[in-house]
Structure formats: C-alpha cells, structure tokens
Amino acid sequence: MAALAPLGTPPVPKIFATMEEGPIPGGINPGEAWLESHGRSLGHFVGGTWLKPPGRTSLECQEAATGRTVAVVPAGDSSDLAVAVAAAAAAAEAWAGLGGPQRGQRLTRLAATLEGDRRGTMGALLALAGGRPLCRTLGADLDLGLRLLRVPAGGAQLGPPGLEGWTPLGVVAVVLGGPCSLPALLWKLGPLLAMGEYSGRGQLGTSSRGTKM
C-alpha cells in the first residue's frame, strides 16, 4: 500500500459510477510515451525500418474509445506493397532454411520479449487501438496472443506429425480489418511463421492503409 501512496486515494466510487480505468502507476501511459518517442508520426514498417515515402497524404490513427488522433501514417500505394513483398521474399528463404526447431526457438524468444519489459507498452498501444480497457489488454488479450505464438512455436520444435518433407510455400500476405486485436493477428501469424512461411501484413481501414511488415 505504501507504494500506492503517491497516487493518492483511488476514487473507487467514481470509478464504479463511470466505469473508468483507475490511475496508472507513475502517471505515465507507456503507449503514449512510445508514440511521443516517434513524434506521433509512423511509417510503413518494412525490413526492420520505418519507411516514410515523401509526398504522401497523411492518414490519422484514432484512439478507438475517444476518436482523438494519436498518430499519423503515410497513405500506402502499390509501390509500398512491392517494397514489402520484395523484403519478405528476400528473408523468406533464410527463414524457411532455419528448420522447425530453430524457428520455434526464435518465436519463443519473441513471445518472451513481448511479455517482458515491452508488456506495458504493448498493452497500452492495444488499448488505444482497440478501445478495450487496459486491464483487459494487459491481461487476457496479451496472454492469449502470446499463447497463440508459443503453441505453434512448440509444435515447430517437436515437428508436426504427418508433415515429413514439408516445403514452405514462401511469402504469404495476411490482410486484416482494423482495429485488429493482438490475438487475432497472432492466431494467423503464429502457425504461418512456425511452418516456415514469411508473412507480410496489411491492415484495412482509413487510419492504417499502409502496408506493414
């Protein structure tokens, strides 16, 4: 309780009356802080780099619960799609060549990274994008998403029965309607990555039409 003293007395009756979230420890929303660190201007994330093609119309990314603009992204077109597909194709052969055990190990490390120091930031960003309470995105949503990543990772390490001689197909596009929850994304991406496919992700919607990797 001593650690909560700087926050003051939680307005419990008000929270029950308005169904608002309680105070965030420290008073800093890690999702907002991450957006600020990027100047609230994002790009198309391709090959580990934020790409911001010049001369593009900016699209607003809005907080689902309030409609306020939290960031902007450049509008995507066919040239961005071509860059994303080329980057995925360049990485696909090496990813497929790792073999199931190594792919599974890397996906397990990815899940551990998302669950570690980045958990608070990830949960806060999911709350902004999806409109669900922070307690849900930090709890059930994130835990389910990580499970949907770890299960196929474990299967890849053991070797899927009946798939001897399996050859990955290559680049796979995953098109999502926004806002998209983390479990919905990893439900699609987890098995694809574990089986050796390499995926590019695109999201449909007025606030995020740019192709992302």
CB 189 within 8 A of CB 201: yes
CB 196 within 8 A of CB 96: yes
> Is 44's pLDDT higher than 80?
yes
The CATH number of the domain covering residues in 36-195: 3.40.605.10
Please tell me the predicted confidence (pLDDT) of residue 208: 34
Residue 188 has which token pair? 């699609």
More confident residue, 184 or 70: 70
Q: What SS3 class is residue 117?
A: coil
More confident residue, 27 or 53: 53
Please tell me the predicted confidence (pLDDT) of residue 209: 33
CA 49 to CA 99: how far, in whole Å? 26
More confident residue, 50 or 8: 50
Q: Which of 22-26, 87-91, 200-204 has the highest mean pLDDT?
A: 87-91
Please tell me the predicted confidence (pLDDT) of residue 22: 56
CA 163 to CA 185: how far, in whole Å? 24
Q: What is the pLDDT of residues 95-121, one digit of tens each?
A: 888 888 899 999 999 999 888 878 888
Question: Which residues face 172 on adjacent strands?
Answer: 199
Q: Give the rounded distance of the alpha carbon of 186 from its chain centre.
A: 8
Read off the pTM. 0.72
